[in-house]
């Protein structure tokens, strides 16, 4: 049986930009002896129940080298688990190793974060990616796994780098880790240029035993940089690569239909007039990164940088009159790369072409982050989080809605946005004064939609739907109430399936079903929470979901969309199996 997902997010910007439409934000952390730093990373656990952060050191001995713990906070109970503790000397002396900048892997129970090297002063060229699993606090200070192999003693080792990696970002399939990098060997020669690398997990590399060397996984640079004095003005060469992100969950689709793994980033180049300019670049990455390319050895030499593997292609995507910036963020389908320019959010295709401006906010916009659906972009502007429609071809494309109240914390804007994988929440930081003039980052969340259970044909399971020439009847569906969802709060006029099918009679409220163990499982019968019972025209459902184009026994996700009276979107989902009357349909 083939399961097909025909969920198309259609958001109606029906609510006014007023205090009534700002959705309630909730503070999760309150300790005033530590920071709770999100740091623009993948901070949500895969089950969307935990937000990870580091307790960034501050004061006389601040910074990652003096940061002791990685923690996570539960969004329901506000309970905190210390996932990892670095073995720094107490009291702190500025040496390290420290830890920070944590990201969750998309599957399983693992995080990756910066860790300094034991016995070596923490610094930009003396740090690596440490994987911690599980995240329940049971891993000791030395129980981590090294992601990126490191070898700083000649002869260097292919698959090992010689410096410091940071901003570690797992790929959508969890098999790679991307990062920003500074090279210790080149730093010692006075050429400390920032660039970008990747680690392919599961491909072990062993190195010589020496202080600062570490066995790990096969790791290479994928971006070529050169000193600014060696760059021909007006060329596409760069002297720094940073602010990088994976393109798509699994890459982007090329014109020939194949998929290409890549990282997009901000590259600093030299203009024809000799000035500097920040532009958007992309690095296509081969699946086999073990073969040296034409520019030199993967491991570098005693006087040159490590060079990208064969098949790596570095391309410039923008040619701008002003700097591009922000940490690059890419839609999960790999179609678009978001960045900032001129105080607004823009997008550009990884295939090239003209960038498209998507926001026109009165104040400067920053920190873009995609909704998992690809239908919206979130950003920070005017002390608030905003949501912008980026649905291709939609008349409302580019329209923005303020979703947090700017008056709650005057002069203390949200920062470090991170959207949950299920698209239900945004986590972010605010820097609050603890009462003595010292400001510390606290973690907040705001709901951007509510996810609910839909029961198609309540009391009937499994859900079968027959497509025929008539389809003149009605099909009942119920949005199930729960402790989190009072169906009386739903604006019945907003209910739809993909903007095509609408209820054909007035909804009623009754307790008709309860949720199964997972979204598509059979319901359990009445559960004490009132449900919203709907009836849709079968003909409209066929059109809304494009059912006539499917094959026999296709299993389809059906999502009913609605807005609460306060403007918050509700999505309720169930599944049904498609059959066709008569013969000959394939």
Per-residue pLDDT band at 131 (split at 50, 70, 90) = very high
Locate 472 and state its tokens: 């003149």
Mean pLDDT of 310-322: 97
Condensed to tens digits (0 to 9), the pLDDT of residues 238-261 reads: 999 999 999 999 999 999 999 999
Per-residue pLDDT band at 15 (split at 50, 70, 90) = very low
Residue 530 has pLDDT above 70, yes or no: yes
Residue 3 has pLDDT above 50, yes or no: no
SS3 per residue for 437-506: CCEEEEEEEEECEEEEEEEECCCCCCCEEEECCCCCCEEEEEECCCCCCCHHHEEEEEEEECCCECECCC
Task: State how far the Cα of 119 lies from the Cα of 258, in Å rounded to an integer.
Answer: 46
From residue 573, alpha-carbon distances to 9, 83, 367, 462, 465 in Å are 12, 33, 30, 15, 16
Q: Give the helix/strand (H/E) hosting 203.
A: strand 195-205
Which residue's entry shows tokens 């000397």? 89
CB 409 within 8 A of CB 430: yes
451-580, which class in CATH? Answer: mainly beta
Question: Which pLDDT score, from 0 to 100, does residue 12 have?
Answer: 37
Mean pLDDT of 556-581: 90
Mean pLDDT of 96-120: 98
Residue 169 has pLDDT above 50, yes or no: yes
- Domain residue ranges of the chain, discontinuous segments joined by +: 451-580
Backbone angles phi, psi at 135, to 5 degrees: -105, 25
Question: Which pLDDT score, from 0 to 100, does residue 20 have?
Answer: 38
Condensed to tens digits (0 to 9), the pLDDT of residues 323-333 reads: 999 999 999 99
Mean pLDDT of 454-465: 89
> What share of the chain in percent tops pLDDT 70?
95
Per-residue pLDDT band at 586 (split at 50, 70, 90) = very low
Burial profile 424-450: b = 16 or more Cβ within 10 angstroms, e = fewer: bbbbbbbebeeeeeeebbbbbbbbbbb
Task: Count the neighbouring beta carbons within 10 Å of the beta carbon of residue 303.
Answer: 9
Task: State how far the Cα of 516 lies from the Cα of 523, in Å rounded to an integer.
Answer: 5
CA–chain centroid gap for 408, Å, is 26
CB 3 within 8 A of CB 555: yes
Question: Which pLDDT score, from 0 to 100, does residue 459 have?
Answer: 86
Q: What is the mean pLDDT of the chain?
A: 92
Mean pLDDT of 230-237: 97
Residue 491 sits at the vertex; the CA angle it makes with 490 and 492, to the nearest 5 degrees, is 100
Residue 437 has pLDDT above 50, yes or no: yes
Q: Where are the alpha helices (DSSP H) in 176-229?
A: 184-188
Mean pLDDT of 478-488: 93
Per-residue pLDDT band at 584 (split at 50, 70, 90) = very low
CB 398 within 8 A of CB 379: no
């Amino acid at each position: 049986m083939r399961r097909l997902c025909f969920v198309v997010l259609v958001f109606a910007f029906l609510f006014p930009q007023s205090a009534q439409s700002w959705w309630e934000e909730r503070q999760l952390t309150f300790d005033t002896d530590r920071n709770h730093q999100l740091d623009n990373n993948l901070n949500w656990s895969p089950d969307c129940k935990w937000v990870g952060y580091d307790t960034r050191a501050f004061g006389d001995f601040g910074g990652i080298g003096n940061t002791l713990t990685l923690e996570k906070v539960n969004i329901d109970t506000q309970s905190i688990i210390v996932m990892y503790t670095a073995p720094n000397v107490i009291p702190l002396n500025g040496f390290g190793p420290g830890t920070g900048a944590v990201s969750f892997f998309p599957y399983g129970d693992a995080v990756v974060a910066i860790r300094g090297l034991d016995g070596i002063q923490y610094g930009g060229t003396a740090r690596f990616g440490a994987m911690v699993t599980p995240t329940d606090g049971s891993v000791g200070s030395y129980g981590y796994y090294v992601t990126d192999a490191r070898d700083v003693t000649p002869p260097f080792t292919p698959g090992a780098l010689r410096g410091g990696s940071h901003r570690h970002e797992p790929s959508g399939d969890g098999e790679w880790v991307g990062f920003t990098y500074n090279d210790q060997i080149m730093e010692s020669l006075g050429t400390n240029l920032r660039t970008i690398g990747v680690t392919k997990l599961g491909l072990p590399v062993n190195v010589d035993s020496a202080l600062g060397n570490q066995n790990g996984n096969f790791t290479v640079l994928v971006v070529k940089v050169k000193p600014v004095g060696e760059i021909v003005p007006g060329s596409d060469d760069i002297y720094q690569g940073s602010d990088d992100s994976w393109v798509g969950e699994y890459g982007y689709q090329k014109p020939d239909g194949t998929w290409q793994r890549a990282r997009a980033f901000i590259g600093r180049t030299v203009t024809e007039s000799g000035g500097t300019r920040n532009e958007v670049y992309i690095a296509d990455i081969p699946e086999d990164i073990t073969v040296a390319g034409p520019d030199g050895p993967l491991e570098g030499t005693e006087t040159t940088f490590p060079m990208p593997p064969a098949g790596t292609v570095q391309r410039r995507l923008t040619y701008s009159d002003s700097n591009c910036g922000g940490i690059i963020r890419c839609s999960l389908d790999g179609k678009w790369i978001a960045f900032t320019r001129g105080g607004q959010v823009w997008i550009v295709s990884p295939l090239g072409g003209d960038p498209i401006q998507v926001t026109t906010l009165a104040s400067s916009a920053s920190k873009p982050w995609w909704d998992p659906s690809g239908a919206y972009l979130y950003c920070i502007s005017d002390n608030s989080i905003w949501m912008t429609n980026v649905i291709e071809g939609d008349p409302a494309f580019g329209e923005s809605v303020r979703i947090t109240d700017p008056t709650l914390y005057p002069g203390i804007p949200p920062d470090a946005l991170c959207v949950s994988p299920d698209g239900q929440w945004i986590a972010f930081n605010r820097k609050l004064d603890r009462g003595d003039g010292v400001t510390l980052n606290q973690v907040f969340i705001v709901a951007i939609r509510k996810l609910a259970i839909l029961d198609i044909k309540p009391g009937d399971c499994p859900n079968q739907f027959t497509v025929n020439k008539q389809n003149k009847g009605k099909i009942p569906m119920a949005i199930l109430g729960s402790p989190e969802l009072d169906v009386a709060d739903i604006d019945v006029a907003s209910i739809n399936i993909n903007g095509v099918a609408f209820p054909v009679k007035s909804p009623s409220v009754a307790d008709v079903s309860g949720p199964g163990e997972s979204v598509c499982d059979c319901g359990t019968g009445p559960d004490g929470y009132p449900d919203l019972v709907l009836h849709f025209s079968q003909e409209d459902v066929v059109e809304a979901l494009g059912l006539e184009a499917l094959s026999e026994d296709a299993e389809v996700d059906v999502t009913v969309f609605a807005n609460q009276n306060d403007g918050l979107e509700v999505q309720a989902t169930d599944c049904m199996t498609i059959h066709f009357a008569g013969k000959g349909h394939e």
